[in-house]
């Protein structure tokens, strides 16, 4: 299991942590995700701490092991966007969920 994201649902004040349970994936995918979990967790921590280059490097290492990892590819995309357009200083790292299936940067992101 790995943490996927922290989101804030529209109309709620607290964030929700989302986790991926990947024990139903095919065995090679499970092995790849377990193998990259320490790097993934470091990259996720770097992302939360606004260390964009370190986050991008870690997520890119994960993608080298499992190219079609949708979560890793999402974080690479987000990190590249944040490198190009950094968020406001008070950005809390959360992404606001307006409705099921739609997620965007929270109002604190400043972009």
On the question of pLDDT at 61 being above 80, the answer is: yes
Q: Cα–Cα distances in Å, from 44 out to 5, 19, 75, 90, 108?
A: 9, 13, 8, 19, 19
Q: How far is CA 36 from the centre of its chain?
A: 14
- pLDDT tier at 99, thresholds 50, 70, 90: low
As a whole number, the mean pLDDT across the chain is 86
For residue 46, give both structure tokens: 């770097």
First to last CA, the chain: 31
pLDDT at 14: 85
pLDDT at 107: 39
Does the pTM exceed 0.85?
Answer: no
For residue 9, give both structure tokens: 């649902």
- pLDDT tier at 15, thresholds 50, 70, 90: confident
Q: Determine whether 63 is exposed, middle or buried from the number of CB atoms within 10 Å of its CB (0-12, 13-18, 19+).
A: middle
């Amino acid at each position: 299991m790995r943490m996927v994201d922290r989101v804030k649902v529209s109309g709620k004040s607290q964030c929700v942590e989302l986790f991926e349970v990947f024990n139903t994936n095919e065995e090679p995918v499970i092995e790849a995700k377990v193998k990259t979990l320490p790097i993934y967790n470091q990259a996720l921590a770097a992302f939360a701490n606004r260390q964009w280059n370190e986050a991008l490097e870690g997520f890119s290492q994960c993608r080298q092991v499992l190219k079609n990892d949708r979560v890793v590819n999402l974080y690479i995309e987000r990190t590249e966007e944040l490198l190009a357009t950094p968020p406001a200083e008070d950005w809390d790292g959360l992404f606001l969920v307006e409705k099921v299936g739609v997620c965007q940067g929270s109002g604190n992101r400043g972009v």
